[in-house]
Structures are given as structure tokens and as C-alpha cells.
């Protein structure tokens, strides 16, 4: 079996330098030495012993990522975030174990338990709640939560959902709309509820609707294309239908646009539509979808780097709230940008 010493002899370096190259640290290595070591690894077919490495470092070099929907079927946010997180983890020498809780709290707890049995070095929880008891068991384990409330010993990253809902609704108000419906997911889901708060605040400030009328402008459904379609049908089939819709996700907004078309309504002439997420698909609807864009890749990079920092340097938990930005397209009545490159 080829050993680290064999690689060092061929590369003309010490075994420690070989270790630094393979483990990407902890000490820097000159580019020339790095190239010699990598060439020797390739020539000799050296494969580090992962078990021995874990025993020495007391790490498994794995991260557990649990999402409420890792397939992206309910929202493109999950798939894009997961891919960006895995890319950063790979660059830092970590593998990612992925669990899909399917929005089932018991299944989420089961994944937490199984991942900890496999000695993952840390956890990323994407809109996945954990019980008080489970959170207490994770004290001392690096954990980053995404878009969910978290205990003080977890790091928490989120986008400013309320401000995003406010921005979207204010923009629709600026187009002259006063009866703006909210195509909502389950309101007990933290981001959905916060986006509703922003929608409500904007309408209050504009004097657009009295409190008593706001309930008639909200309809809850699944966080999916189908959920947006069904929810928008209910809102747009009313005699006093809204003239604009703000959806809690881009998928719901796209479903709402199809519902409008099936009812013979034109977007944006008869009903304006805005979404939330900044999904890539939003640029390819007809008309293009106005949306509140989340910095998904930036959030994923920050989440992974925060977790690695906690694993390798025992960094303290952090809370970071990211800003979202309004991207205007034709669905609200703004000029339609051209995609031809």
C-alpha cells in the first residue's frame, strides 16, 4: 500500500507537507510544492485512509444538511441552496449528507438523530424545526439554521422576509393597485408569515384596505406551483377579486399566472402578479415575473463557511439577516427586459 512517506519521497518534501496539501491546511504550502505533491499522489495512486484521518482529527469531514424539501419541488430555493452549499463544502474538504424531511417534524428529528449517529461534524437545517429536547441534545454541536427561529447556541441565517413582502406590495401599490391579494403558503411557516406582515404593513401605510377586509384577500395553500394555482383560483374567482397578487414564493406566483390565464384574465392588464425568491425560472415566464430576489448563493456560502468555522475554530454562533432586492419584469406592468444575449 502506498503511504504518505512514499508520496513525500517522490515529491521531495516532508510527510507533513503532504498532509497539509491533502487536508488543505492547517499550514500554507507553496504552489510549487503543492504541484509536486499532487503529481506524486497521481503517479503513485495514493489514497488517504479516511478512517485513520478521522481518528487523528476527531472529525468525519461530513456535514448533515436537512431540508424541508431538498428536491426543489415546493420551491426552487431549496435546490439552488443545496447545490451551492455542497459546492462550498467540497472546496473545504467536506462531504454533505442530504436529508429531505418532507415537511414532517418526526422525519426531521429522525434525520437529526441518524446524522448524529454517523458523527457528522455539523448540521445545516433549512426551514426545519427541531424540538426543544433535540436542540438541547445538540448543545456543543455546530448547527446553522436557515429561515427559521433558533436557540441561542445555533447560528441563524435568514433573509429579511418582512421587508421583502413590504417592497413587493409597495411596488404594486405604486402601479395604482389598492386591492392586492396574498397568495400564501401555510402562515405558520416563518417566512410566509413574515412576508404577510410586510404585505399588511404596506397596505396599512397606503390606506388601501381596512383591517376588516384584509382577511378576504389572503388564501393559504401549498408552497408549490399547484398550490399557487389553486389559491389564486379562489382569490380571482370572487366577485370583488383583487387587481394584483403577491405570492409568498415564485412557484406560487407562476401557478397564479396560469390560474389567471385559465380564468381569461391577462397579466398584467387585468391582474398584476409579483413573487418572492428570485428563482431563475422567473425570468422565463411570459410575461417575466416580478419578484423579490433572495441572495441564495451568498446565503449558502455564508452558511457553509459559518459551519466550517464553528467546526474547525469553535467560532461562536452568529445571526445574520440578508437583504432581498426587487427585480421588476412585465408581470407587474413594468417594461419587459429582453433575454436575447
Domain presence at residue 9: yes
CB within 8 Å of 124: residues ≥ 6 apart: 63, 64, 65, 66, 85, 143, 144, 145, 146, 303, 304, 307
| Predicted local distance difference test score (pLDDT) of residue 58 | 62
Note whether 174 and 255 are same-domain residues: yes
Note whether 245 and 133 are same-domain residues: no
Note whether 79 and 198 are same-domain residues: no
The residue behind cell 426587487 is: 326
Note whether 181 and 270 are same-domain residues: yes
Domain presence at residue 53: no
Domain presence at residue 233: yes
Note whether 195 and 230 are same-domain residues: yes
Domain presence at residue 141: yes
pLDDT tens for 175-221 read: 999 999 999 999 988 899 999 999 999 999 988 766 667 778 999 99
Note whether 169 and 282 are same-domain residues: yes
- Length of the chain, in residues: 341
Q: Torsions phi, psi of 119, nearest 5?
A: 60, 40
C-alpha cell at 304: 457553509
Domain presence at residue 112: yes
| Predicted local distance difference test score (pLDDT) of residue 51 | 46
Domain presence at residue 246: yes
Domain presence at residue 284: yes
Cα angle 87, 88, 89; round to 5:
90
| Predicted local distance difference test score (pLDDT) of residue 140 | 82
Note whether 131 and 167 are same-domain residues: no
pLDDT tens for 231-243 read: 999 999 999 899 9
Note whether 111 and 216 are same-domain residues: no
CATH number at 116 reads: 3.40.50.2300
| Predicted local distance difference test score (pLDDT) of residue 1 | 72
Domain extent at residue 17: 4-48
**pTM, whole model, 2 decimals?**
0.77
Note whether 114 and 210 are same-domain residues: no
Note whether 128 and 155 are same-domain residues: yes
Spans of the chain below 50 pLDDT: 51, 54-55, 57
Helices (runs of H) and strands (runs of E) counted in the chain? 13, 12
Tally of domains within the chain: 3
Domain presence at residue 185: yes
Angle, helices 161-174/190-206, rounded to nearest 10 degrees: 40
The residue behind cell 417592497 is: 167
Strand pairing class (244-247; 180-184)? parallel
Amino acid at each position: 500500500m502506498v503511504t504518505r512517506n512514499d508520496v513525500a519521497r517522490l515529491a521531495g518534501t516532508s510527510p507533513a507537507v503532504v498532509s497539509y496539501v491533502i487536508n488543505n491546511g492547517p499550514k500554507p504550502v507553496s504552489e510549487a510544492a503543492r504541484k509536486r505533491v499532487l503529481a506524486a499522489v497521481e503517479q503513485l495512486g495514493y489514497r488517504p485512509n479516511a478512517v485513520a484521518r478521522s481518528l487523528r482529527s476527531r472529525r468525519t469531514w461530513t456535514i448533515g444538511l436537512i431540508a424541508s424539501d431538498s428536491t426543489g419541488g415546493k420551491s426552487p430555493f431549496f435546490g439552488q441552496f443545496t447545490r451551492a452549499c455542497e459546492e462550498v463544502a467540497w472546496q473545504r474538504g467536506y462531504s454533505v449528507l442530504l436529508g429531505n424531511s418532507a415537511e414532517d417534524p418526526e422525519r426531521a428529528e429522525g434525520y437529526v438523530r441518524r446524522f448524529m449517529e454517523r458523527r457528522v461534524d455539523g448540521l445545516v437545517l433549512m426551514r426545519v424545526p427541531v424540538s426543544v429536547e433535540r436542540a438541547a441534545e445538540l448543545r456543543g454541536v455546530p448547527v446553522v439554521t436557515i429561515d427559521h427561529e433558533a436557540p441561542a447556541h445555533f447560528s441563524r441565517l435568514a433573509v429579511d422576509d418582512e421587508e421583502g413582502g413590504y417592497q413587493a406590495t409597495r411596488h404594486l401599490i405604486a402601479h395604482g393597485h389598492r386591492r392586492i391579494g396574498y397568495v400564501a403558503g401555510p402562515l405558520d411557516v416563518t417566512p410566509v408569515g413574515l412576508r404577510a406582515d410586510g404585505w399588511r404593513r404596506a397596505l396599512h401605510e397606503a390606506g388601501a384596505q381596512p383591517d376588516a377586509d384584509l382577511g378576504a384577500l389572503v388564501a393559504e395553500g401549498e408552497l408549490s406551483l399547484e398550490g399557487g394555482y389553486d389559491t389564486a383560483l379562489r382569490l380571482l374567482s370572487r366577485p370583488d377579486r383583487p387587481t394584483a397578487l403577491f405570492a409568498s414564493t415564485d412557484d406560487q406566483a407562476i401557478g397564479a399566472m396560469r390560474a389567471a390565464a385559465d380564468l381569461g384574465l391577462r397579466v398584467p392588464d387585468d391582474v398584476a402578479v409579483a413573487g418572492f425568491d428570485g428563482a431563475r425560472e422567473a425570468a422565463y415566464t411570459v410575461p417575466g415575473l416580478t419578484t423579490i430576489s433572495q441572495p441564495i448563493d451568498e446565503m449558502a456560502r455564508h452558511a457553509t463557511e459559518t459551519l466550517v468555522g464553528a467546526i474547525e475554530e469553535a467560532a461562536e454562533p452568529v445571526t445574520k439577516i440578508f437583504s432581498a432586492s426587487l427585480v421588476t419584469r412585465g408581470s407587474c406592468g413594468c417594461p419587459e427586459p429582453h433575454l436575447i444575449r
